[in-house]
Structure 1
């Protein structure tokens, strides 16, 4: 029992941290949505503001626009991702690893940077007009443009889910259907596709959640055209005078409910609606030949990857190397001046990059420690309240970044706190930890589940304490998985935008804020140069994660 003497303290500490990091901001959002005078220290007239808010046409418009945007992105992502994923999972596709790699790149480009890249492509006097003599500004700066750009960022979620699901199930059962008289299309729609339905449905719900939570793309492309969604509506209520805290909190609750509904449906589909084969034989995963369709399919993949990956990368990179935008696409207009400015001459740019690196590293370290302790309590113990711990640890999956930002402002901008991280870099660290905590918790939980209890039991028999068992036995075994999660946390935290926009105090600037503000100020080249540096940094970390996991 010696090894378990410190377990109540460990579990209590993990619970306290989760309550502060996760439950506190969400709780204050709910309280502010109930009590309109909470920011003034009053609990009077609960819910008295809801009638005015819900009768406001803007409220209904924001909610409708959010649902319409999410639904259209889902439909377009399905139209692109499902056919491409089916082709990848069923057939011998030439250059298949290359297409997979190119379709991973959109995950490495922050959505707001991709949106800025498309602005440089399609705006008047943009690169498309310089090369082809036409522009598509009317399309880009509209609802349709937002759907187009957001879809290009998220449809790979569907592609990889479909391709992996179909490749796993194989084609043997479809071959049986063919023997029994079914046509190729009948066998695909009645046998192959149903086997992949859980993965498809879960990926589409995830796409919906990602679409309704995204801030940068709607703000960059459609805000000036009068198209607002819940995320941009919340930000406006904080940035425009008079500040509307009850309205922002109510919109945040609506957004959280939409996101939670999507994730609840996703988990329900994954947990209950599963098609499976029961014959005990491994599926035939051999891929079929495309025959005469080989090169047309390759052309289709080249077209999709060219639009979704090559075009924004080209725009971002070319802009970063331009002396001036007015100089256009000419060889004598290319130089390293923007990189020299941000990396050599602009102390603000270097400071922003250093701040992002420091915050990303601190977030990775803190969430790694918390994830280790929470996963141990949930997986390796039978303590009371471990279900609560598990729920709190995965709740940030359903919390949009802007809601976390709103909650932290409401929670820590109160007069009764003797000490507060508000208006310091610490508030950014809290936001990043809340948003990214699920990564280390999930990775560590999976690793703990694969480690038997016999080694820890042997340590207890030999008198090891709980701390010794964790540090000297369990931690070395799960360290590769935990490190991979921490590297992912670092990559995402170092480029986070929406919480940084809301919470960054005066004098503190991150790389994402530097990029956003350079565009607002007209210094597009420097903003894109910082984007290139950020993308290279993120890509390097992602490659390191993949290499590490393959080796371990």
Structure 2
């Protein structure tokens, strides 16, 4: 059916379906084909499922799967233990400096996990910074399964903290007050009334933490390798990176990891679809917050302790290492200088080239991902063509796409000899990988924005003779622009520092921020790597803030 003066909706839906099929579906399809038909790369469909049998007989899959579950569930438990009390105090009581604590707890999420892990290694290892200051080290805890879980939880707990803060604030203290009238103490009222009301938000955020933990590569690669703790992600990396390359085995492990991530994502969607509670009162939420009274000092100490271990120690370790002239010189004042920062920012250096490459790739990926995500959301919500359900499915598929799986899919898809033109071994393959990994962000933000715009605006535009594209460009895009900008900034931040896909499919002769830092540690140039890490943290934190502030000022002026 053709709308007045515009392109048919079916054509727009078909275009979105083709783009998502090539970018999203095809890599997953090639992983499945490689796992089922191990000789498909040689053009043969012989011995189907033999690679799966080999992986099972070697004992790699059960152990790696169990370790992955241990890491994911452990991270969920520790994240909850950290975030629940903090979120309850933040939302239900008048906490001094509440906004400042929110900013501080956002920083751990902005520090890439592999950088935080490397900073903890520099701090807690024998003769590390902690031992230099106190005479003690935490190497026994650090290089252990609990150590891996704790470090991942220190990165992931802000997801639960911010989700629960909103839930607890919406609930307020009124319901708990009713139970206290009937004799319940403060803790019992919280556990029996407030927390159950927030369970949908808590469960959804913890499922997201589980998905983040099982997909993480840097932390188990740095800490787990030393203790023989191998998970699915590191197993895939070993199958691809070690000779002889085992693509069928890697594909089998990847399918298991995708299945686990998919299960977590579907569980999250089901919980969010259920919803939780509704409030009918109109009183300001601030009025429900109670004074902490004598608990003020313990609450501030709790927040300060979490801020120290999640934000302070990693940042200080990164800065101290970046300033060190030699690692063996330790924290002595004469051993500190700016030479590593000079090397990073100097012209015609590998470090500066890696920095510019990552920032450029992040910018291109943000633009392409934002446009594709907005296009997919428009097709799903604003058209009635049959194929929109297929577009919706493909747009959600990247939620179950760990970086190592995406890299494997890109290798299997684009390294085929029959392609006349291929992005393989060029920087464009990294852009494709970033788009696949981060597509859910603009889709999610744009969908939320479009759902708030009345369809009557679309109808009015069509009555006036506007085409689908004109209506989207002149009406919808300006309205969803702020939401799309936030999503694109998030894509830029994550893409600029992405590690796993960059390590596996980076073209020869190029480096990104993440691969530069990783290889500097491998080569022993720890100070130079940490200088790059510190510059990265500053850029990926400050640049989005500057853009958002400028956009808000422009909006206010307009």
CA contact (8 A) 2:114 2:218 kept: yes
Which residue is equivalent to 1:236? 238
Which residue is equivalent to 1:390? 392
Which residue is equivalent to 2:277? 276
CA contact (8 A) 2:9 2:384 kept: no
Structure 1: distance between partners of 2:278 and 2:441: 31
Offset of residue 134 of structure 1: 1.4
CA contact (8 A) 2:362 2:491 kept: yes
Offset of residue 373 of structure 1: 1.4
Which residue is equivalent to 2:498? 496
Structure 1: distance between partners of 2:203 and 2:452: 28
Tell me the TM-score normalised to structure 2 length: 0.95
Which residue is equivalent to 1:88? 90
Structure 2: distance between partners of 1:498 and 1:122: 25
Structure 2: distance between partners of 1:114 and 1:12: 43
Structure 2: distance between partners of 1:82 and 1:24: 40
Identify which range, 431-440 or 319-328, moves more after superposition.
319-328
Which residue, 343, 360, 364 being the options, matches 1:358? 360
Which residue is equivalent to 1:152? 154
Q: 1:183 to 1:72 in 2, by over 3 A?
A: same
Which residue is equivalent to 2:319? 317
Offset of residue 46 of structure 1: 1.3
CA contact (8 A) 2:499 2:514 kept: yes
Structure 2: distance between partners of 1:202 and 1:445: 19
CA shift digits 1:111-153 (9 cap, x unpaired): 0010111111011221111111111223212222211211111
Tell me the TM-score normalised to structure 1 length: 0.96
Identify which range, 455-464 or 140-149, moves more after superposition.
455-464
Which residue is equivalent to 2:266? 264
Counterpart secondary structure, 2:28: helix
Identify which range, 18-27 or 51-60, moves more after superposition.
51-60
Counterpart secondary structure, 2:198: helix
CA contact (8 A) 1:172 1:283 kept: no
Question: 1:289-438 alignment to 2 at 5 Å?
Answer: 289-344=291-346, 347-438=349-440
Structure 2: distance between partners of 1:549 and 1:323: 41
Which residue is equivalent to 1:506? 508
**Runs of 4 or more off by more than 4 Å in structure 1?**
277-285, 548-552
CA shift digits 1:505-541 (9 cap, x unpaired): 1112111100100000011111011101111111013
Offset of residue 107 of structure 1: 1.0
CA contact (8 A) 1:2 1:463 kept: yes
Q: 1:544 to 1:353 in 2, by over 3 A?
A: same
Counterpart secondary structure, 1:2: coil
Counterpart secondary structure, 1:135: coil
CA contact (8 A) 2:171 2:279 kept: no
Offset of residue 213 of structure 1: 0.3
Structure 2: distance between partners of 1:203 and 1:88: 17
Counterpart secondary structure, 2:38: coil
Q: 1:380 to 1:345 in 2, by over 3 A?
A: closer
Residue correspondences, number: 551
Which residue is equivalent to 1:53? 55
Which segments of 5 or more consecutive residues in structure 2 lack a partner in the other structure? Answer: none
Structure 1: distance between partners of 2:86 and 2:280: 29
Which segments of 5 or more consecutive residues in structure 1 lack a partner in the other structure? Answer: none
CA shift digits 1:255-286 (9 cap, x unpaired): 011111111111112212x4424766668652
Q: Is structure 2 residue 545 aligned with structure 1 residue 543?
A: yes
Q: 1:310 to 1:431 in 2, by over 3 A?
A: same
Structure 1: distance between partners of 2:279 and 2:531: 55
CA contact (8 A) 2:442 2:488 kept: yes
RMSD: 1.7
Counterpart secondary structure, 2:50: coil
Structure 1: distance between partners of 2:40 and 2:205: 39
Offset of residue 3 of structure 1: 4.1
Counterpart secondary structure, 2:74: helix
Q: 1:461 to 1:279 in 2, by over 3 A?
A: closer
Which residue, 108, 111, 115 being the options, matches 2:110? 108
Structure 2: distance between partners of 1:388 and 1:87: 44
Identify which range, 251-260 or 477-486, moves more after superposition.
477-486
Q: 1:128 to 1:158 in 2, by over 3 A?
A: same
Identify which range, 462-471 or 107-116, moves more after superposition.
462-471
Which residue is equivalent to 1:65? 67
CA contact (8 A) 1:171 1:284 kept: no
Structure 1: distance between partners of 2:352 and 2:403: 25
Structure 2: distance between partners of 1:359 and 1:383: 34
Question: 1:511-526 alignment to 2 at 5 Å?
Answer: 511-526=513-528
Q: Is structure 2 residue 189 aligned with structure 1 residue 183?
A: no
Which residue, 440, 443, 446 being the options, matches 2:445? 443
CA contact (8 A) 1:171 1:283 kept: no
Offset of residue 361 of structure 1: 1.0
Which residue is equivalent to 1:173? 175
Structure 1: distance between partners of 2:392 and 2:413: 23
Offset of residue 61 of structure 1: 1.1
Which residue, 36, 39, 48 being the options, matches 1:34? 36
Offset of residue 51 of structure 1: 2.2
Which residue is equivalent to 1:472? 474
Structure 2: distance between partners of 1:205 and 1:483: 26
CA contact (8 A) 2:6 2:469 kept: no
CA shift digits 1:166-212 (9 cap, x unpaired): 11111111111122333323321221111111111111111111110
Counterpart secondary structure, 1:211: helix
Structure 1: distance between partners of 2:552 and 2:91: 22
CA contact (8 A) 1:428 1:503 kept: yes
Counterpart secondary structure, 1:189: helix
Structure 2: distance between partners of 1:305 and 1:550: 29
